[in-house]
Chains A and B, each alone.
Chain A
Amino acid sequence: MLDLVTNQPITLWIVIGFLAVSLLLYCLLGGADFGAGVLEIFLRKRQRVEQHKIIEKAMGPVWEANHMWLILMVVILFMGFPEVYSLISIHLHLPLTAMLIGIIARGCSFTFRHYDAKKGRSQKSYAVFFIFSSVWTPLCLGIVMGSLIPGGIHPVYATYREGFIDSWFRPFPLALGLFTVCLFTFLAAVFLIGESPAGEIRTSFTRRARVASIVTVLAGGVVFFAAQLDDIILIPRFLHSAIATACMILATISLPFFWMGLRKEWIWTVRSLAGIQVVLILSAWLWIQFPVLVHLPGGDLTLFNSHAPDRTLFQLAAALLVGSAFILPSLFYLFQVFKLDEED
């Protein structure tokens, strides 16, 4: 294994790095945007208008950019790991299509709501679409991720059910979908604390962040339980890897500090802690999955056995590096203009 890891060309590592970072950033930034939509379910009538404004102001300038990390992942997959992209596309057709519908509905309803020339009755319809798709899309995303584990995809199948439904319609992927929704909501609540003015509204987001953190922990428990139902040996796999275990322990012991920060309303402390927790959870998962991309009965597709030819990898890595020279500074400028300015 160690041989396999050290013998890979540097270009492959660059591509893998971008894939992992895109996934992390999509979950952190895009996740917070999705969660904001979920939170709208729980807005009380009295504060609805103001909280609405806060969500619009926080998401408006950045949601399209945050969404791009997903596109980057797709591009890296189909150029760098074409077999994986093709296999996932075939067998997870249904949840992926469902996710697409969510993506379309959410982007459109959010923008339409903001840019409708008349703010009339239609606002309510946009809100319904926006909220529903904000739950639906991360649910599907989690389901897709959950289908990549052992026993998920059957490349050789006898029936429609076996080939196209059984891979994802099982306890574990569904539980992971639920967990994703909770996690994103948690991120959004924490993020919006800092976006709202001190006072009643901030307190209400703080309360939601606390509730969301507890619900997310419970949902995490459901994931492990569902893994048991699905005969996936998840806990031993975690315990087998020191790094994954350490990540999970760190995420757990940071919780009390997080709750303390919430009570004191230390905005950047809770934001960082929440971000770190999500990174830890994802890293733990990536670590036990590594280097496998899709588990298959006849031999897994890994980062090392399913990548594109060297010349393609080289040019992809070059494109990613040059591309980030354009993207990162402008992204930094975007966040600086809309996020950091508030401080001074």
Chain B
Amino acid sequence: MENLLAARAQMALSLGFHIIFASIGMAMPFLMAISHYKWLRSGKQVFFDISRAWSRGVAIFFATGAVSGTALSFELGLLWPKFMQHAGPIIGMPFSWEGTAFFVEAIALGLFLYGRKRLPRWIHWGVGVVVGISGVLSGIFVVCANAWMNNPAGFDWVNGQAVNIDPMRAMFNPGWRTEALHMILAAFEATGFAVAGIHAFLLIRSRGSVFHREAFKIAMLVGAIAALLQPLSGDRLAKGTAQHQPLKLAAMESHFETSTYAPIIVGGIPDKKTERVRFGIPIPGLLSFLAKDDFSAEVKGLDAFPKDEWPPLVPVHIAFQIMVGCGTALAGLSLLFLFFLFRNPSRLAHKRFLMLAVLATPLGFLALEAGWTVTEVGRQPWIIYGIMKTADAVTPMPGLQYPFFMFAVIYVFLFGVVSWLMLRHINAVAQDYPSSANEDVHA
């Protein structure tokens, strides 16, 4: 295995692993806070139980997210020392803010998880909200750094050195707003539907359980709101990409020739040699509209760029299709959910609807991983777009395949253990709250 490839594989693996836990860390505190709030306001025990059951699961995800995040802060240097040497002084800013937010989050989490009996009720609730807010903030800061890699700003590149560094301008680069919004929504969408799916499954198993019904509703509502806002944020992001990274957009859409009335190609496999997409269904004009708000606008194709700067076309195009496909499915499910919720609540407990929710369990996370694949693979061969190639940033230490294999084993093992722990946790919850027979809720 080539050194560069091994380093990229290890980075992709570590990020792909961490992002799951980080997303849950952002969204779950808010889910818990909603349930907790309902308990504090209504006094209904079931909401307290939901928040408590969730928090025990969350503790596991949090710890895994914290340590895999620590690993990443080192891996950036271990794998890409040349990148960090130049980028550190420029984008250290969001990282230092992220460190602060993460610190506050860890403190608040300790208080929240262990302070149930020690803290006054509302303070305990407030601490839970702080966990969520600092989680979201640290997510935004990290995405700022990533957005800078896509839209480098805040420095001048002179003879291979960064001069006139302005960390503030680097942090608030042209891409940060759209990218951060897209990521935060994705975290809420993925987590909301995953949690809802689990409770839908348990609801099918033990019909009429108030515990699972209420938990399902809270999670579904959060996921649905995010899923319906997400296409709007995606549209903004696509326009930004068209402006700042036209090559990435062309790769995402497999748009080979610069043209007006540019089509969006649904599905299909791009072929770099023939510069054609096989099996795809083109929808004329839609890409022009997506990129420039005008069906007739000219959109730059891959042919506008030297071939050796093209990112790998197949993974980027397919990942983009997966992301959009999952997102569309979830948005459809969200509309259905909201329709039932306001028009016909009894339908929410209908078995077929619950089955749909169960099927949707992994879609949010699938979309999230696919989205990161689009943005990261789509930027290749650059690590800092237009400034530094990934190949020039990799550590000179030979034999990187061994750390990669080791991390692969560790993360696969950890993933297995966490899944197994979740199954045990879910089973325990299912046993604790089997049915509604003697629950004191009249909702």
Residues of chain A touching chain B, judged by Cβ–Cβ distance below 8 Å, are 60-62, 64-65, 67-68, 70-72, 74-76, 78-80, 82-83, 85-90, 93, 96-97, 99-101, 103-104, 106-108, 110-112, 114-118, 160, 163-164, 308-309, 311-312, 315-316, 319-320, 322-323, 326-327, 330-331, 333-334, 337-338, 341
Known pairs A96-B74, A100-B74, A107-B66; A309 contacts B106 (CB<8 A): no
B85 touches A85 (CB 8 A): yes
B424 touches A118 (CB 8 A): yes
Known pairs A75-B99, A117-B424, A315-B168; A308 contacts B70 (CB<8 A): no
Mark each residue of chain B from 64 to 99: 1 if its CB lies under 8 Å from any CB of chain A, else 0. 101110110111111001101110111011011111
A61 touches B81 (CB 8 A): no
CA distance A108 to B64 in the complex (A): 6
Which B residues are in CB contact (< 8 Å) with A62?
Answer: 110
A interface secondary structure, majority = helix
CA distance A85 to B82 in the complex (A): 10
A327 touches B111 (CB 8 A): no
B165 touches A312 (CB 8 A): yes
B397 touches A334 (CB 8 A): no
Nearest CB of A to B308, in Å: 27
Nearest CB of A to B336, in Å: 33
CB of B102 within 8 A of chain A? yes
A312 touches B118 (CB 8 A): no
Total CB contacts across the A-B interface at under 8 A: 213
Which A residues are in CB contact (< 8 Å) with B281?
Answer: none
CB of B113 within 8 A of chain A? yes
CA distance A76 to B107 in the complex (A): 20
Kindly identify, within residues 161 to 205 of chain B, every residue whose CB is under 8 Å from any CB belonging to chain A. 165-168
A72 touches B424 (CB 8 A): no
A107 touches B63 (CB 8 A): yes
CA distance A83 to B81 in the complex (A): 9
B interface secondary structure, majority = helix
Chain A minimum-CB-distance residue to B397? A93
Q: Which residue of B75, B82, B97 contacts A319 across the interface (Cβ within 8 Å)? A: B97
Kindly identify, within residues 95 to 149 of chain B, every residue whose CB is under 8 Å from any CB belonging to chain A. 95-100, 102-104, 106-111, 113-115, 118-119
B88 touches A78 (CB 8 A): yes
CA distance A308 to B170 in the complex (A): 15
CA distance A218 to B97 in the complex (A): 41
Chain B minimum-CB-distance residue to A125? B417
Residues of chain B touching chain A, judged by Cβ–Cβ distance below 8 Å, are 56-57, 59-60, 62-64, 66-68, 70-71, 73-78, 81-82, 84-86, 88-90, 92-93, 95-100, 102-104, 106-111, 113-115, 118-119, 165-168, 395-399, 403, 406, 410, 414, 417, 421, 424-425, 427-429
Known pairs A78-B92, A93-B397, A107-B66; A327 contacts B103 (CB<8 A): yes
Q: Which residue of A78, A104, A309 contacts B165 across the interface (Cβ within 8 Å)? A: A309
Known: A70-B70, A311-B167. 5 other contacts (CB 8 A): A115-B59, A115-B60, A164-B397, A315-B167, A337-B115
B425 touches A319 (CB 8 A): no
CB-defined A-B contacts under 8 Å, sample of 5 = A72-B99, A96-B78, A99-B74, A115-B57, A323-B99
Which A residues are in CB contact (< 8 Å) with B59?
Answer: 111, 114-115
A83 touches B85 (CB 8 A): yes
Closest 8 CB pairs of A and B: A79-B92, A89-B77, A323-B100, A111-B63, A82-B88, A308-B89, A107-B67, A86-B85
Q: Which residue of A64, A79, A100, A315 contacts B106 across the interface (Cβ within 8 Å)? A: A64
B92 touches A90 (CB 8 A): no
Nearest CB of A to B157, in Å: 14
Q: Which residue of B81, B96, B424 contacts A79 across the interface (Cβ within 8 Å)? A: B96
Q: Which residue of A72, A85, A327 contacts B84 across the interface (Cβ within 8 Å)? A: A85
